[in-house]
Amino acid sequence: MISKNQLKLLRALGQKKQRKAHGLFLVEGEKNVLELVATSLKVKQVFATSEFLAKHATELDAYECIEATLDELTKASSLVSNNAAVAVVEIPKTDAPEPKGMMIALDGVSDPGNLGTIIRIADWYGIKHIVASTDCADPYNPKTIRATMGSFGRVQVTLLDLPRYLNEAKIPVYGAFLEGESVHTTNFSQQGILLMGSESHGVRAEAEQYVTDKITIPAFGGAESLNVAMATGIIMDNYRRQHS
């Protein structure tokens, strides 16, 4: 059973301020909870149905598990209907990653669903680090975590002073713009930072000044733009065709 205090905490962790105060975040849904096992994240508690706990007893052995009904779990979650499991996890302390290999940088990408989808696509293409301006969506927002479809444990997202980071990086910065060199003809270097702006504002001037290569996804029809997560996926695919 989920106690009143536990329910209060689970609900509180839906808010950024409360996540920061507690140093905790929520991982919701069966697949995401099971992904935790393979990560170094510190799990405080797992709330789950008796069926889920019985089925995954071995994997969940190291965690404090609390049995709850599907009804209780659904009440505790703002997001997932029919939620068989939710974990309370410590927000890890991370340092800004050294600029090397291929990385993704996000400027003002404020939608948690987009951020989560970008984390998933980064994971597909083997990108370990995303750096993001401080006004980007919270990587520990339950909506972000959910959209990663389990990839949250394999990609590190660091919110930081993005213009400064780009300025100090010694590797190429590929900025995605509506006008630039086609990604079909771009020669990507092995190391680099792919800089994506938000759908509404694009890459802002403060970050744009550090772009070394402006690139674009060629259009063939009538659509004016692509979703930022979609564009990130297409560009990463073009990079990976050259550097696997």
Write out the residues near a second copy by the rule CB under 8 A. Answer: 117, 120-127, 149-151, 154, 184, 217-227, 229-230, 233-234, 237-238, 240-241, 244
Residues of the chain by 3-state class (helix, strand, coil), percent to 5: 35, 25, 40
- Give least dist CB 176 to a second copy, A: 13
What phi and psi values does residue 67 have, to the nearest 5 degrees? -75, 140
- Give least dist CB 123 to a second copy, A: 4
- Give least dist CB 225 to a second copy, A: 7
- Determine how β-strand 65-67 pairs with β-strand 43-48: parallel
> Helices (DSSP H) in 162-226: which residue ranges?
162-168, 205-208
Nearest to 145 by CA among 230, 183, 154, 240: 154
- 200, exposed or middle or buried, with CB in 10 Å at 0-12, 13-18, 19+? exposed
What span, in angstroms and rounded, lies between the C-alpha atoms of 184 and 239? Answer: 9
Residue nearer to a second copy on the CB measure, 57 or 219: 219
Residue nearer to a second copy on the CB measure, 7 or 226: 226
Q: Are 130 and 157 in contact (CB under 8 A)?
A: yes
- Give least dist CB 68 to a second copy, A: 25
Residue nearer to a second copy on the CB measure, 51 or 237: 237
What span, in angstroms and rounded, lies between the C-alpha atoms of 132 and 235? Answer: 18
- Give least dist CB 193 to a second copy, A: 17
Residue nearer to a second copy on the CB measure, 62 or 223: 223
- Give least dist CB 223 to a second copy, A: 4
Residue nearer to a second copy on the CB measure, 21 or 219: 219
For residue 102, give both structure tokens.
């291929």
Residue nearer to a second copy on the CB measure, 46 or 231: 231
